[in-house]
Amino acid sequence: MDLPTIWFLAVAVLWTGYLVLEGFDFGVGMLLRVLGRSEEDREVTLGAIGPVWDGNEVWLIAAVGAMFAAFPAWYAATFSGFYLPVLLVLLALIVRGVGLEYRPKRDDAAWRLRWDVCIGVGSLVPAFVWGMVLANLVRGLPTIRTAPGNGANTVVTASLGDLANGYALLGGAVTTALFLLHGAVFLALKTDGPVRRRARRFAVRAVLPVLLLTVAFLTATLALRDPAWTTPVAWASGLALALAGIAVLLGREGWAFTATALAVGGLSVVLFGQLHPELLVSTTDPAHTLTVANAASAPYTLTVMSWVAVVFLPLVLLYQSWSYWVFRKRLGGERVEPQVPAPR
């Protein structure tokens, strides 16, 4: 296996990790006011993701950084072609991060309500837009070649109308729905009391609509281009969603969370599997299509990057695994007042 293919797999793994881990963060943010009926419930809800949400965003930085270093032509064409959607994502992530940090600064209901709205919107926008972006990459986009040569001269010419096609909108709806279910199952796993009960009820009711949306999107995706090995992955993703619903009904939140994580990861694997060996499909001229071969960096660059990844990636994985282990306990929904000893 050559280095460009290895780095395509690395980028796909990083994006999959980001969608799986940040996906439940987005779901929790969108469900903050839905499941948090009281201030205490909302504190428990946000406390479930408090120790991990900023660490989960590191996967996005790593994925985009790997795209930039390993496939600069793909990076340039994608993020310039999706300039406005990506800008909306960045603004939403900033607002969401500020909301998570500033919300507890004042004991004022109006203040916290405003930041709750910011957290909800800041979670909804990236959840929808990332699904739309990935769907458009698989479907293909109009491009031009600004100068003769390799893929570095390919420029996306899609308008907002081109980006907001039916398949892409369905992709955004699917990622949003999946993240909502993923977040609800995570809250059922990580909390106790009223939030846990509401999260379980929400997850049970949401499984069937999410499953139908996901199956519809996967069917449309396989109809575009169907590498033989992605079909069983798509079936496995749908089966994982069905098993998640059963596990929630049985009170096995750990298995349910594993199942929703597999469903999100399976969707990502299908999308990136549909791309390879292409990176950005041109609907204008097949000669403009960016591939793993014509968009990759020089072999020396990929070699240096590989050694850096071999050294530092295990350290990052160990640290994040340790942080999840440290904060593995459930958060209770009942406030316990300190016991004051009676005077003698």
What's the CA gap between 169 and 190, in Å, rounded? 31
- HEC states along the chain? CCHHHHHHHHHHHHHHHHHHHHHHHHHHHHCHHHHCCCHHHHHHHHHHHCCCHHHHHHHHHHHHHHHHHHCHHHHHHHHHHCHHHHHHHHHHHHHHHHHHHHHHHCCCHHHHHHHHHHHHHHHHHHHHHHHHHHHHHHHCECEEECCCCCHHHEEECCCHHHHCCHHHHHHHHHHHHHHHHHHHHHHHHHECCHHHHHHHHHHHHHHHHHHHHHHHHHHHHHHHCCCCCHHHHHHHHHHHHHHHHHHHHCCCHHHHHHHHHHHHHHHHHHHHHHHCCEEECECCCHHHCEECCCCCCCHHHHHHHHHHHHHHHHHHHHHHHHHHHHCCCCECCCCCCCCCCCCC
Among 300, 312, 215, 306, CA closest to 266: 215
Give pLDDT < 70 ranges for the chain.
Answer: 1, 147-152, 226, 333-344
66: left (phi over 0), alpha (psi -120 to 50) or beta: alpha
Question: CA 181, CA 202: separation in Å to the nearest integer?
Answer: 8
CA distance 40 to 35: 11
Q: Where are the domains of the chain?
A: 7-199+271-304
Question: How many CB atoms lie under 10 A from the CB of residue 28?
Answer: 28
Sign of CA dihedral 46, 116, 21, 7: negative
Look up residue 138 and give its two tokens. 């698989």
Residue 344: the pLDDT is 58
Per-residue pLDDT, 144: 85
- CB burial class (10 A; 0-12, 13-18, 19+) of residue 231? middle
